Structure formats: C-alpha cells, structure tokens
Amino acid sequence: VERVAVIDMGSNSWRLVVFGYEPGTPWWNLVDEIREAVRIGAGMGERLGSGKPLLRPDRVELALHTAAVFSAFCRATGVDQVEALATSAIRDAADGDHLLTQIEQTTGLGARVISGEEEARYGWLAMANSTTIEDGFGLDIGGGSIQTLRIEGRRLADSRSLRLGAVRVSERFLPGEKATPKQLKALRAHAAAKLEELGWWSGGGRLVGIGGTIRNLAAAAMKRLDLPDIDVQGFLLTRDALEELIDELADRPVSKRGQVKGIKYDRADVILGGALVLATTLEEGGFDAIEVTEAGLREGAFFERLLGEDGLFEDVRAESVRNLAHRFGHDDAHDLHVWTLSASMYDGLAAAGLHDYGQDERELLWAACLLHDIGVAVNYDDHHRHSHYLTLNAGLPGFTPRELILIGLIARYHRKGEPDASELGHLAESGDEHRLQLLCGVIRLAEQFERSRDRAIADVRVSANGDAVSLAADCDPFRDATVPIWAARRNADLLAEALGREVAIDA
C-alpha cells in the first residue's frame, strides 16, 4: 500500500490527510488525518479594498507551528508522497509567498500556492469522482474565496474564483454579535452582483457543492430528517431547508450559532455568511437545491495522483460499491451469482407485469447483492445486521442518502425479518414499504437459490399462471440442486407477500 499525504492550507482550517491506495488497482481509503484551526485568513476581510492585505502576526505564528507539526508527521509516518497546497488567503496576501518560504526554511515542507483555476480543477476532480454529475455547475465555498465551476460531459468547461469566501464576507458584512436584516440584505446584494457578473447561469440544472461550509449546512439540515447517523454524501440541500437554517442562525448572536443542531462550534462565527452566499447562488442560478459531496480539494489532489491528470472513475457508483465489497468481501463469485439470479427474477417479474419498478431500483438491488455478506467479517451471527452497519457507515459516493439507506436495508433483510422502511425518516416516499418488500423478497430468494455457493442454479425463469407465480430453477446438470431448492422453498414468503400471490419454486 502506498500512502500520499495531502496538506490543505485553507483560509479557515489546515488539514493533513493521508490516503492509502494499491497502485494499479482502484482501491483506496483515507487512513489518517490531523487538523488545526489556523485561521490564516482571519482579519483579511477587514483590509479588503486597501490593496493586498497582510497576514495577521498571531496567525503566522500558529501557521509556522502547524507546518512544523505537519512536516514532522510526514517524516515520522514515512508517507510516500506529500502535496502541500495553499489557497485563497495565502494567495491573496501580500506576504503569502514569504510565509511559504519561511515554512520551507524552518520545517523543510515545500508548499505551493495554487491558482483559482487549479483549485477549481481539484474541486472538479472531487465532484466528478464522487457524484454522477454529467452536466451542470459546481460550487466550492472556502474561507477567502468561492470557486464556481461549469461541468460539461463530466469535464471541467470553465471556472471562476470570486472573493466571496465565508470568512471574508462574514468579517466584512456581519461584524457584530447580532446580524441585522440590513446587513443580511447587503451581503446578499453584494454576492448577487458578483455572481451575476459571471453571466453563465442557465436557470437551474444540477449543482454540486464542496467545502466545509456547505457540508456543515447539509449536516444541520439532515439532522431534521430523522435519519440514521450517516455522512452528508450525496445529500440534496434544498433552498427551503437552507432558508430555514438561515433564519434560525440569523436569529441568534454569533456566540450561540454553534448550538444549532449539526452546526460545528468552530464554524459558528462564519457559517451564516457562508449560508447567505450559498442561498444567493441558488437564487441567482435558479437552482432548487445543491447536491453535497464529502470529497473536496484534498480528494481532488489525491484523485489526480490515483487516476492521472484527467482521470475519472468510469462509473462512480460501481466503483464505490466494488471498493466497499473489496474491503470486506470474502466470496465474489457468490455475490455476483446472487446478482445474476436477482436480476433474472427482477426482470422476469417486470416482464410478467408483476411489478413496475425500473432501472433505479434495479441498481440498488445490484449494489445490495454485492454487499449483502460483507457483515460476515464482523460475525456470521446476525451478519445481515453488520452488512447494514458497514454499508451505512462506510458510505457509497455516487448514491444519495436515501439510496444508501435503501441499499443498506436490502442487505439488512436479505436473510430474514420483515423489512422496515422507518429508517428512511423524512426521506421516505409513498410505496417504500412495498418497494423494500419486493427488493428484499427477490434478493432473499436469490441468496437461497445460491445457498450452496456453487452456482448449482444457473438461472431462474419467471412465469405467471393464474393467481400464482412460478419460479423455475435452471439447474446445472453437473451439480446438485438439493440445498438451493430446499432453501428457496422455505424463503419464498416475503416475495409472495410483495406480489400478493403464491410463489411456487420448481426445480
């Protein structure tokens, strides 16, 4: 395993993350992380408009100390490569280059300032490799600046950097303990004017967001949805939910904003400014919502090393599922065959007019088939519960929280139990109980048809006759179908319930 350290010297926090990967394979993983709230951009907003601002001495001191710690960490842990990147605050400061020179001289850490274009490119790599976006826009709200991106055919078409970072606008427009309506309005108007200059909004479409501010706002909005404790990966933060949060934040003095559920204490003083910039972007661009991803600058810089400069995963969802299955999986041939049989039944039942779910549910079923047994790594007893836990907690970039929970639930009920959709909380849709019943009914039978793990049942043919459904197992003539037929016959109840018909298993 090779290890790459990426150091992100942002305007707000500095973070060192270590990625592990197996060269020549797509398997990767975040393996270590340290951070320090350096706030190198603090105080710079105040001096905006008076030429290039200087970094504050107390911030420089902490920056030097933090660089020494990070540099020592890289040497001590023996990471194979180090990439240290400075963004907006250092880029814009009159003495930014001087700071990096000092850091190199005192700690040996060679960091470089990246341009707004480079920052946008890393942002794009992060978005395009952790979501399914093909065409649309991207937004990265940093401390000093924001990057706006246009994405066409998964490629970065254009990008612009605007000085609308959360720290910067907060210091300039929201200096007091309480924010007045007038201040909020002025901030929105300022952001709107800057965003309008871009002239590239087309009235909606898809918008992907990265960066700590957007992630934290998404986390706060998710807290209201009665979901299990999962990451914000793929979450759709709507305009309405965002405006609700803004109202709640603006109602409180700065010192109490960290008490809003989900808001991090160390972001409380700049979160309102960032939220207003985001809200203005949604309004200006005509977006109903922003799609949040956990990946960011650091992952972008890592993906460039993993995949090459223009490198994209061919299929983000497939990569996520395979990456997780690989980490805990123990029998790929079995998992794939459970999918083959599931797909046969799912498609056969649809062709017979017995359900009208489509490609979306089919893909969730596929993912659940590959992941249904990962929990065996924890304990064979109750391994369906552990597969569920591992899926929800490891996460699957490319899928929304609703899809992740559904995949987890299909894995959860692949062996027994009556599927329970309540975990979907406010993300539930009408018909979810039946949707889960059908999907779990199918995977449960596929698992039993492949109970002897030897592909004795090559395929399953579906036919409807009267009030009953017949599932005819195509038995491999060189194998023994005793176990699969025995096992399938005692596990057809759930599918029968979903279909509202008798299910007969024929050898």
SS3 81: strand
Q: Is 71 or 437 the residue whose CB approaches a copy of itself more closely?
A: 71
Residue of 202, 393, 422, 465 that binds a copy of itself (CB under 8 A): 393
The reply on whether position 379 binds a copy of itself by CB under 8 A is yes
493 binds a copy of itself (CB under 8 A): no
Q: Does 451 bind a copy of itself (CB under 8 A)?
A: yes
Structure tokens at 471: 């599932």
121 binds a copy of itself (CB under 8 A): no
330 binds a copy of itself (CB under 8 A): yes
- DSSP letters, 459-505, are EEEEEEETTEEEEEEEE-TTS--HHHHHHHHTT-HHHHHHHTSEEEE
Q: Which stretch binds a copy of itself (CB under 8 A): 336-344, 355-363, 373-381, 498-506?
A: 373-381
User: Contact between 483 and a copy of itself (CB under 8 A)?
Assistant: yes
233, 206, 223: which is closest to 294 by C-alpha?
233
Tokens at 481, concatenated: 């179908």
Among 5, 109, 111, 390, binds a copy of itself (CB under 8 A): 390
Cβ distance to a copy of itself smaller for residue 248 or 266: 266
Closest to 134 in 3D by CA, of 157, 104, 113, 155: 155
d(CA 259, CA 268): 9
Question: How far from 295 is each of 84, 126, 209, 327, 419, CA to CA, in Å?
Answer: 17, 5, 10, 20, 32
Query: Which x/- pattern over 25-44 shows residues binding a copy of itself (rule: CB under 8 A)?
Result: ----xxxxxx----------
Under the binding rule (CB under 8 A), the answer on residue 106 touching a copy of itself is no
Between CA 286 and CA 447 the distance in angstroms is: 46
Shorter beta-carbon distance to a copy of itself: residue 173 or 328: 328
Identify the CA nearest to 293 among candidates 129, 134, 135, 156. 129
Kindly indicate which of the ranges 61-69, 148-156, 211-219, 342-350 contains the residues binding a copy of itself, using the contact rule CB under 8 A: 61-69
- Under the criterion CB under 8 A, does residue 414 sit at the interface with a copy of itself? no
Task: For residue 357, state whether it binds a copy of itself (rule: CB under 8 A).
Answer: no
Q: How far is the CB of 64 from a copy of itself (least distance, A)?
A: 12
Q: Are 149 and 123 in contact (CB under 8 A)?
A: yes
Q: Is 376 in the site for a copy of itself (CB under 8 A)?
A: yes
Surface-to-core class of residue 192, CB atoms within 10 Å of its CB (0-12 exposed, 13-18 middle, 19+ buried):
middle
Asked if 369 and 339 touch (Cβ cutoff 8 Å), the reply is: yes
Considering the rule CB under 8 A, would residue 173 count as an interface residue with a copy of itself?
no
On whether the CB atoms of residues 388 and 406 are closer than 8 A, the answer is: no
Among 312, 394, 428, 458, binds a copy of itself (CB under 8 A): 394
Count interface residues toward a copy of itself (CB under 8 A). Answer: 44
Task: Name which position in 52, 75, 264, 461 contacts a copy of itself (CB under 8 A).
Answer: 75
**Count of C-beta atoms within a 10 Å radius of residue 208:** 27
CA distances 129 to 51, 293, 310, Å, are: 38, 10, 11
Name, in order, each residue with C-beta under 8 angstroms of 225's C-beta and a sequence gap of 6 or more.
Answer: 425, 426, 427
Q: Is 428 in the site for a copy of itself (CB under 8 A)?
A: no
Closest CB to a copy of itself among residues 327, 461: 327
CB of 251 to a copy of itself, least distance (A): 29
Q: Least distance in Å: CB of 487 to a copy of itself?
A: 8
What is the distance between the alpha carbons of residues 58 and 454, in angstroms, rounded to a whole number?
66
Q: Would you say 37 or 157 has its CB closer to a copy of itself?
A: 37
Query: If binding is defined by CB under 8 A, does position 69 make contact with a copy of itself?
Result: yes
The answer to whether 464 and 353 are in contact (CB under 8 A) is: yes
Does 381 participate in binding a copy of itself (rule CB under 8 A)? yes
Of positions 140, 171, 231, 335, contacts a copy of itself by CB under 8 A? 231
Select the residue interacting with a copy of itself from 78, 153, 199, 358 (CB under 8 A): 78
**Judged by CB under 8 A, does residue 504 bind a copy of itself?**
no
The set of long-range contacts for 256-263, using a CB threshold of 8 Å and a minimum separation of 24, is 260/220, 261/220, 261/223, 261/224, 262/216, 262/219, 262/220, 262/221, 262/222, 262/223, 263/216, 263/219, 263/220
**Shortest Å distance, C-beta 232 to a copy of itself:** 11
Give residues 249-278 in contact with a copy of itself (rule: CB under 8 A). Answer: none
Spell out, one character per residue from 191 to 230, where the chain touches a copy of itself: x when CB under 8 A holds, - when not.
Answer: ----------------------------------------
Instruction: Kindly state the tokens that stand for 23.
Output: 């060269």
Question: Checking phi first, is residue 274 left (phi over 0); if not, alpha (psi -120 to 50) or beta?
Answer: alpha
Select from 123, 40, 117, 141 the least CA-distant residue to 298: 123
72 binds a copy of itself (CB under 8 A): yes
Residue 286 falls in which region: left (phi positive, over 0), alpha (psi -120 to 50) or beta: left
**Site membership for a copy of itself, residue 380 (CB under 8 A):** yes
Task: Using CB under 8 A, list all residues that contact a copy of itself.
Answer: 29-34, 65, 68-69, 72-73, 75-78, 231, 327-328, 330, 376-382, 385-386, 389-390, 393-395, 451-454, 456, 479-480, 482-483, 486-487
